[in-house]
């Protein structure tokens, strides 16, 4: 999906700057044994311009190149451990692997009498 820049660009950018187009990048995602894997295509993006944030049930990515801003926000319907994310970036492909949280791992064991 591509969004055109606003008609009134005076508030958004300075004279002579290229307009920024917001684009949702192509991505694929799947759940493995104990992980959630996300692969995102970011062609032409420098590693330094990639910004990612993760919560237990939400993921956000933003990356810029030239006059394009790639933006991806995923509301997950399961929980991941945001402190245990492994991300690699090579040849325009970002791969992020999240460890799934086991909701019963910290559950209280109820004794039966």
Compute the chain's Rg from CA coordinates. 19
Q: Does domain 20-100 have CATH number 2.60.40.790?
A: yes
Task: Let me know if 62 is exposed, middle or buried by CB neighbors in 10 A (0-12, 13-18, 19+).
Answer: middle
SS (H, E, C) 15-82: CCCCCCEEECCCEEEEECCCEEEEEEECCCCCHHHEEEEECCCEEEEEEEECCEEEEEEEECCCCEEE
Tens of each residue's pLDDT in the chain, 113 residues: 555 555 554 455 565 676 789 999 999 999 988 999 999 999 999 999 999 999 999 999 999 999 999 999 999 999 999 999 999 999 999 999 999 988 777 778 888 98
Euclidean distance between CA atoms 68 and 23, whole angstroms:
7
- What is the structure's pLDDT at 3? 57
């Amino acid at each position: 999906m591509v969004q055109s820049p606003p008609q009134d660009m005076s508030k958004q950018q300075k004279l002579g700057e290229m307009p920024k187009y917001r684009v949702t990048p192509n991505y694929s995602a799947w759940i493995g044994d104990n992980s959630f894997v996300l692969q995102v295509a970011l062609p032409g993006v420098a590693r330094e311009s990639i910004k990612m944030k993760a919560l237990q049930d939400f993921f956000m990515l933003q990356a810029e190149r030239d006059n394009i801003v790639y933006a991806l926000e995923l509301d997950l319907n399961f929980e991941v451990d945001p402190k245990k994310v492994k991300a690699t970036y090579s040849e325009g492909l970002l791969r992020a692997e999240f460890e799934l949280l086991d909701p019963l791992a910290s559950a209280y064991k109820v004794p039966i009498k």
